[in-house]
Chains A and B, each alone.
Chain A
């Protein structure tokens, strides 16, 4: 009686491929090549013929049945996966404050400081909640080894007063606290709709104990409210031996009186503290004791 060989009438699962096994067509094995586990189907009899090597299928004896996917290369919280030269690879998280950027060869990603240009936000206080205060101090953020100069934005500086204006004054901090010596010199120029003022103690040799009245003693009696914004620049504050530390500022102020009076004022000013010491921060305070709320951002200009 004639015999007809039908071969396998279904796939035969042989488990994990073994170098000592003998395989015939339509055997199916699993095999891990370069970390990727796939299933292969035999297309010819073989023994000790690995289904795949370095990602290349041994097609004389095997075909891919189902290709597996690369296992994740991540190992640690914060890792991300990036494409390397030939395969996905792990990129470990950077340190605090670093940003993801293109590397110098422009062919990959890396974490690093964005110091090539621009500014770094050193600190932000953007809540007007809590108590209104008479002063605030910002200290410990200046570092001239990293930044060439600094810009503080003091904004939404709001005074709700029924009696008098708020008169913001500025002191520089030395050793963590405001320097109250009589070594400040300053001047400013401001204009409003129908007038102009210049203020300060820039002339003469007698200093003052603060950069006083940054808005130039703008005084609208019987205020309902007063809103002010300042940009203050600090130059090389932690560099010692310069003899003086300089600041410059620009201000815009709106004061609303209880009557129909309302005034908008813009001004620019500059000042200095005669000192060879490092300045560690600054203190703004209300010269006449009026309370205020405010927001604050401090930036360093990257070297």
Chain B
């Protein structure tokens, strides 16, 4: 993996250091967790939409997904 560094001293392109790679692994884990959470949020929103269409009562969590 590569990175660019821009400073007043100049521009350079470098390979990821071992620290950068370790940070990337952690970032990817965090990213995957966020994706799972946001997929759950989207599912909740879809559920709220379906219930609205069919006239069913929404849970509080489903109602919270709506922007009024």
Contacts and interface: CB of A to CB of B under 8 A. Distances in A.
Given A196-B67, A217-B38, A289-B24, A136 B30 contact: no
A98 interface: no
Nearest to B3: A135
Given A137-B6, A138-B6, A217 B1 contact: no
A138 to B, nearest CB: 5
A278 interface: no
B35 A217 contact: yes
A49 interface: no
A289 B38 CA distance: 19
Nearest to A298: B6
Interface string A164-193: 000101000000000010000000000000
Contacts of B2: 131-134, 291
Contacts of B1: 133-135, 289, 291
A8 interface: no
Interface stretch (A66-74, A84-92, A110-118, A205-213): A205-213
Contacts of A135: 1, 3-4, 20
Contacts of B3: 133-137, 285
A157 interface: no
Nearest to A136: B4
A10 interface: no
A288 interface: yes
Given A131-B13, A198-B67, A139 B5 contact: yes
Interface in B22-53: 23-24, 26-28, 30-31, 34-35, 38, 42
Interface in A58-80: none
A288 B6 contact: no
B9 interface: yes
Contact of B31 (A140, A167, A291): A167
Interface string A195-222: 0111100000000111011000101000
A: contact size bracket: 35 or more
Interface in B46-64: none
Max chain A CB contacts within 10 Å: which of B3, B8, B42?
A: B3
Given A134-B2, A135-B3, A212 B8 contact: no
A137 B5 contact: yes
Contact of B7 (A140, A197, A209, A288): A140
Contacts of A139: 5-7
B27 A140 contact: no
B53 to A, nearest CB: 15
A219 B42 CA distance: 12
Q: Which 8 pairs of residues, A with B, have the shortest CB-CB distance?
A: A136-B4, A287-B31, A134-B1, A140-B7, A138-B6, A133-B2, A135-B3, A140-B8
29 contacts: A123-B8, A131-B13, A133-B1, A133-B4, A135-B1, A136-B5, A137-B3, A137-B4, A137-B6, A138-B6, A139-B5, A139-B7, A140-B7, A196-B67, A199-B38, A209-B26, A209-B27, A209-B30, A210-B27, A212-B34, A213-B31, A217-B38, A281-B7, A285-B24, A287-B31, A288-B28, A288-B31, A291-B2, A296-B6
Given A136-B3, A197-B42, A217-B35, 18 more contacts: A133-B3, A133-B4, A134-B2, A134-B24, A135-B1, A140-B8, A140-B9, A169-B27, A169-B31, A199-B38, A208-B30, A209-B26, A209-B30, A219-B35, A287-B30, A288-B28, A289-B28, A291-B2
